[in-house]
Structure 1
Amino acid sequence: MREKPVRATSDTAKSLDEATTAWALAARAGDRDAVDRFVRALHRDVRRYVAHLCADPQAVDDLAQDTFLRALGSLHRFEGRSSARSWLLAIARRAVIDSYRCAAARPRLAGSADWQSAVENAQPRHVPGFDDGVVLLDLLTALPAERREAFVLTQMLGLPYAEAAEVSDCPVGTVRSRVARARATLLELLDETEAREEPALQAA
């Protein structure tokens, strides 16, 4: 029987956001230990998000590093009005866009096989309902890029819709619509996958 994808609990996400925001504010004040905690806590999320946006798996680590360099250089402007995580992911998005502009020869799309490989490598293991993330990642490649981004931000990284809207630079209602459509498509694809696998399971 299929287990539906489960997003991180709101309490866990809220606790993480509160902690990372506090560390960012402390780092802004010169606390070096807080800088280390801030980077360690959000490195995986930044890497996964950059991998989602970037078609070149070789560039993921460089872009993640660039994101943190930009963030640490801008900490003096961070006032905690939004969570440090959504602030950092917005910086990551700009870093990827800037890399596209520098490479101006050929804009790359997030829906390539390279994107899937990079995100799969960054995907945490043993997530309930995700079958180690592989099945979900395979299905995500079938989604339009904007819906996939909204799903990744809210359902995989656990951002509130309002903060996902800030990161994506679009209205909250648009994010909700994209997530709803992404969910509906994923459920349809999961049903189709199960329908194809059921005869084999019965014959086994």
Structure 2
Amino acid sequence: MTIPALPTSRPKGDRTGAPDESITAWALAARGGDTDAVERFVRALHRDVQRYVAHLCADPQAVDDLAQDTFLRALGSLHRFEGRSSARTWLLSIARRAVIDSYRYAATRPRLSDVPDWQVAVELAQPLNLPGFDDGIALLDLLASLPEERRDAFVLTQLLGLPYAEAAEVSDCPVGTVRSRVARARATLMDLLDEPDGPAVVAA
């Protein structure tokens, strides 16, 4: 199967994501060797994968590599995808494993810095010069203060728009746990926004 070059941004005029049903159909068609479906599948989910790994990854410079690794893994495993869950959920689960594997690999090597640069991460994951871009940076600064599991649940459901059941599947935990993590994340973010020097983040 020919692997298409991954896009660095969405095409002009592509302001909304494709429905999950269409993406899943493309994944199933790609499994059968439809190269056009492969291209559509990759383009439809590339931005979601970039955003997700940017929130999970402690090394913002590795975001593009992790997104590439995610799609290479996914395209190599398409023959096992049966459409029982949405292709988006399936792909984000692969992205999560790619990030975890990168942590395990990094743990065996010397690290130059343990401080994630969230502003660089959002610049890699979002298009520039759009309304609300500064708010996005401020939101990521707030998210950086959350425990990892709560941040993961919040990103999946509130930023990527996954239903709680699918976020639970990606995170490999019960739905109730995801709901609790999101509620606690929201409460923490609201407390931070209520502080006198807290940023006025519209997205929160």
TM-score (norm 1): 0.79
Give the distance between the partners of 1:106 and 1:152, measured in 2 at CA: 28
Residue in structure 1 matched with residue 9 of structure 2 by the alignment:
none
Which segments of 5 or more consecutive residues in structure 2 lack a partner in the other structure? Answer: 1-15, 200-204
Residue 10 (structure 2) pairs with residue 34 (structure 1):
no
Structure of greater Rg: 1
SS at match of 1:103: helix
Report deviation, 1:139: 1.2
Which segments of 5 or more consecutive residues in structure 1 lack a partner in the other structure? Answer: 1-11, 199-204
Report deviation, 1:120: 4.3
TM-score (norm 2): 0.79
Give the distance between the partners of 1:132 and 1:37, measured in 2 at CA: 30
Residue in structure 2 matched with residue 126 of structure 1 by the alignment:
131
In structure 2, do the counterparts of structure 1 residues 82 and 112 end up closer, same or farther at CA, with 3 Å as the change threshold? farther
Residue in structure 2 matched with residue 77 of structure 1 by the alignment:
80
Q: How many residues align?
A: 180
Report deviation, 1:186: 0.9
Give the distance between the partners of 1:59 and 1:53, measured in 2 at CA: 11
Residue 82 (structure 2) pairs with residue 44 (structure 1):
no
Relative contact order (alpha carbons < 8 A, sep ≥ 6): 1 or 2 greater? 1
- Map 1:1-204 to 2 at 5 A: 16-105=19-108, 112-123=115-126, 125-126=130-131, 132-192=135-195, 195-196=196-197
SS at match of 2:162: coil
In structure 2, do the counterparts of structure 1 residues 142 and 77 end up closer, same or farther at CA, with 3 Å as the change threshold? same
Q: Give the superposed CA RMSD.
A: 2.4
Give the distance between the partners of 2:66 and 2:34, measured in 1 at CA: 25
Report deviation, 1:107: 9.7
SS at match of 2:145: coil
Q: Which runs of 4+ in 1 moved over 6 A?
A: none
In structure 2, do the counterparts of structure 1 residues 60 and 197 end up closer, same or farther at CA, with 3 Å as the change threshold? closer
Q: Which moved more, 1:155-164 or 1:134-143?
A: 134-143
Residue pair 2:60, 2:116 contacting (<8 A) in 1 also: no
Report deviation, 1:30: 1.3
In structure 2, do the counterparts of structure 1 residues 152 and 107 end up closer, same or farther at CA, with 3 Å as the change threshold? farther
